[in-house]
Structure 1
């Protein structure tokens, strides 16, 4: 696996004028793998938009190395880079604690009597979105680290994670009108509970709308 990053050239509006919706970002990512396009063998590319120290980045996780010339299409010249992710994946062990960052699309299904398939709707409140991640954690191979609570009556303060961004970016689908997707970024501390499941979470993503910038979790070992 490979983790790639490029700084988006937000100060060049002429260059980035096409990046008005999630589909444009998805196309940018896909075009960064011309060899896959030529071979007709597309693989899943997880990606997300990060904002760090006043700069905006596109982050991509992929099975093959992207074409850096394509990856910098809407980026600042010289900022596209790729590194192997396998060393980190191979070093993961049970009980290990990581700092994590996850951008996801927290949703749930409403199933009415007589229906086999439910209607997917987004979680709206901060409490609902936090609850979504808490419920997903075990099956995803990790536990959210607990911390000492200043207020013992506040259950949320016992879990070491926060929501650092919430927004509703636009997605223009091929058929019908555009829709806005709930995009939520979580940061905090986790403990690895199941190594195999956790690796699946890191490489396959968590939640829905993975093609449109959701589901990518990245981790840094806690010192």
Structure 2
């Protein structure tokens, strides 16, 4: 069926330092949750998927909160993932979908502890559907 290989991230994580420039990739589900007043006024759903420039702005906020300062970012949409959430009772299941965007680029490390946390815990929504995994590699 396939081969599985596990590699330790200890060497990479222990060598991170403030000011270091890294390449990154993250497939994420950039969304905004409008408040009740906005949802009612504009007839919006509870969660709005972002695309284009709005998705890049979302990524910049998330990466800054995760200890990275993006220097260069490219973003392109990927296929939406769909699934079901809820109990085993088919009537109680809720349909879920996550619009995905792949973010690639270079960034400067601002806070090594925050970055280590985001690498291990992920970014944004949809982690159970493969979203939010942040990968980094030192630039050469």
TM-score scaled by length of structure 1: 0.54
Structure 1 unaligned regions, length at least 5: 1-74, 146-159
1:132 deviates by 0.6
Q: How does 1:64-213 map to 2 (within 5 A)?
A: 75-76=1-2, 79-113=3-37, 119-123=46-50, 125-145=51-71, 160-174=72-86, 175-213=92-130
Does the 8 Å contact 2:33/2:47 carry over to 1? yes
1:177 deviates by 4.6
1:178 deviates by 2.7
1:120 deviates by 2.5
Alignment correspondent of 2:136: 219
Alignment correspondent of 2:42: none
Over aligned residues, Cα RMSD in angstroms? 1.9
Alignment correspondent of 1:35: none
TM-score scaled by length of structure 2: 0.83
Aligned length, in residue pairs: 129
Instruction: Considering Cα pairs closer than 8 Å and 6+ residues apart, tell me whether 1 or 2 has the greater RCO.
Output: 2
Structure 2 unaligned regions, length at least 5: 38-44, 87-91
Higher share in strand: 2
**After TM superposition, what 4+ stretches of structure 1 lie above 6 angstroms from structure 2?**
none
- Secondary structure (helix, strand or coil) at the match of 2:107 reads strand
